[in-house]
Amino acid sequence: MTDSSDLHIRAMERADEAFAAKRRFDFDAANKLFRVAFELEREAAHAIVMEQAPEPTRSVLLRSAATLALDCGEHREAEQLSCLALSGSPPAPICEELRELLAQVKLSRYLSECGTTIDPGTLRLSLAGNAVGHGVAGFAHVFDRVDATKKLLIRSVERLQGRPFRERGRPARAVKEQFNVFLSAPRAGSFAISMRVGTKDVQRALAGFVDPARVIDDFLTCIEAFSSEDQDGLRRRVPQPAYFRNFTELAKTLCPDGSRVKSVVFAMKRGPGYRAVALTGPAPRSWFPRAAPEETHVVIEGRLLYADSLKAKKQRIKLVDDSGSQHAVTVPEGMMNDIVKPLWDVRVRAQGVTQSDGTIRMLSIDAAPEED
């Protein structure tokens, strides 16, 4: 019998090749390589069990095989391997990882069972958490994310069409006619809602047409890079600074808070199966801009009362802090229309750095808790 360590090494080599293919957006090759890696790792894991290997070797290898099973859509195998690992005596941190893996298996199975309703022009958005019930969820938890997702999809269309970043105003008529977003009725379960992306048949013959399936696939690839903190990968996909900043700021609003909403999952149909990407925690800190060591970092909490985007290069807002003082804040490209303007007359928390002219260059902004 082939040595288990040799099988494991070969499995990890195929898995590395699969991830490399995924980064090249060669998903067919990635799926085949993940399948080979899973079969090798499963054989290694069963060999380890037969050898009665000690912990944590036993549970680590079983967890790896279960993860690869999930990557291949083998939900039952992933479940069995995870449970087999938990039946031993794994260390507490690995126990927690195995329980999280079982939760992912449950969600993936649910999505797979619903896969017949996901066609290439449909994006499924699913939520789970303490504020999410059987087909019921808080309005803001759902529709704030739906709104951010729609904005991201429209921006993807504009970027894929090669359009300059639209700093203000609505999407061009040609974009709106090519790309319409419709919502289906929410589904019971964790909480799921479908966003149907439609286009007029006549638009398909026009120059610059972008297929809805390509737009959704691009969106999922970018979300995956965001979730895994792959900044280089996301910059290769979204090289324009304004589009990049817009994407990362909107993606932050999609992330779970860790309690009321614990997971946000997007899925689309791909061939006979589906592709799913999950956000399972708050936005990674690596996506939050920081002040340079020589810059003066400031934080302002107050109300946004003025937004001026007449001069695209010098977009400014006016904040009135809790003491009544006014602050002029310069907004970077990519943030005014989708991020800042929706917060008009809302109490916000803005972070930035002081500039030589006394104004503040914004780093980030989000809604702050209203005072009693």
For CATH 2.40.50.140, list the domain ranges present in the chain: 297-367
Helix count and strand count (H, E) for the chain: 10, 10
pLDDT reported for residue 203? 44
pLDDT reported for residue 271? 55
Dist. CA 23–CA 292, nearest whole Å: 31
Q: What is the pTM of this model?
A: 0.65
Dist. CA 29–CA 179, nearest whole Å: 30
pLDDT digits (tens, 9 = 90+) for 185-242: 666 555 778 777 665 544 444 455 677 778 888 999 999 999 999 999 999 999 999 9
253 pLDDT higher than 80:
yes
Top-confidence residue, 100 or 45: 45
CA end-to-end distance (rounded Å), the chain: 70
| Listed residue (210, 183, 180) closest to 197, CA to CA | 180
Report the pLDDT averaged over residues 1-9: 77
123: enclosing H helix or E strand: strand 122-128
> What confidence tier does 301 reach under pLDDT thresholds 50, 70, 90?
very high
Cβ contacts of 46 within 8 Å, gap of 6 or more: none
> What confidence tier does 371 reach under pLDDT thresholds 50, 70, 90?
low
CATH topology of domain 4-113: 1.25.40
Give the DSSP letter of residue 257. -
Is residue 140 within 8 Å of residue 214, measured between CB atoms? no
CATH topology of domain 297-367: OB fold (Dihydrolipoamide Acetyltransferase, E2P) (2.40.50)
Place of tokens 């199975």: 109
Three-state secondary-structure class, residue 47: helix
Three-state secondary-structure class, residue 284: coil
For CATH 1.25.40, list the domain ranges present in the chain: 4-113
pLDDT digits (tens, 9 = 90+) for 12-50: 999 888 878 766 657 678 888 989 999 999 999 888 888
Report the pLDDT averaged over residues 164-189: 75
pLDDT reported for residue 202? 40
C-alpha Rg value of the chain to the nearest Å: 23
> What confidence tier does 81 reach under pLDDT thresholds 50, 70, 90?
very high
Top-confidence residue, 35 or 73: 35
